[in-house]
Amino acid sequence: MTKSTHAGRAILIVENHQALRLFMVGLVETAGFEAIQARNADEALSILECRADIALLVTNVVMDSGMDGVELAHAVDIRWPSVKIIVVSGQRGLMESDLPGKSLFLAKPYHDEEMVFEIRSLIGA
């Protein structure tokens, strides 16, 4: 884990596919943020319980077990209202109205620059 150059700007990445998760970690760290990773919603919720410095959750919709990314977004919105949320998916039919009001939906595939732009615009870096 790389120390963030943006204090208090940790980003929690939730992705069940290891290769995609590690890619996102690299992207976030290259942009100068601390990346924290979770394989599923349960891990993400446990991390959020312990880390008050998480500014942003980036979650995929599809997960192997337990709650999906949309359910996770709603749970985080209720319990940690200051945490911003980006939900990513390659699924068709997901509507922004399915997500909590402050969430941003980003359709796969997206460009790396687009993700970094959205991260910076949401957490003010």
Radius of gyration of the chain (CA): 13
Strand runs labelled E in the chain: 10-14, 35-38, 54-60, 84-89, 104-107
Query: What tens digit of pLDDT does each residue of 71-109 get?
Result: 999 999 999 999 999 999 887 766 666 788 788 988 888
Residue with tokens 């919105």: 77
Provide the pLDDT for residue 115: 94
| Domain 10-123 falls under CATH 3.40.50.2300 | yes
| pTM, two decimal places | 0.89
Q: Other C-beta atoms within 10 Å of 64: how many?
A: 9
Any idea where the domains of the chain sit in the sequence?
10-123
Provide the pLDDT for residue 125: 63
121 or 65: which carries more pLDDT confidence? 121
**Beta carbons of 86 and 104 less than 8 angstroms apart:** yes
Q: Which amino acid is at 89?
A: S
Provide the pLDDT for residue 9: 81
Nearest to 11 by CA among 55, 43, 70: 55
Q: Is the confidence at residue 2, as pLDDT, over 50?
A: no
Q: Other C-beta atoms within 10 Å of 19: how many?
A: 8
Query: What tens digit of pLDDT does each residue of 4-63 get?
Result: 344 458 999 999 999 999 999 999 999 999 999 999 999 999 999 999 999 999 999 988
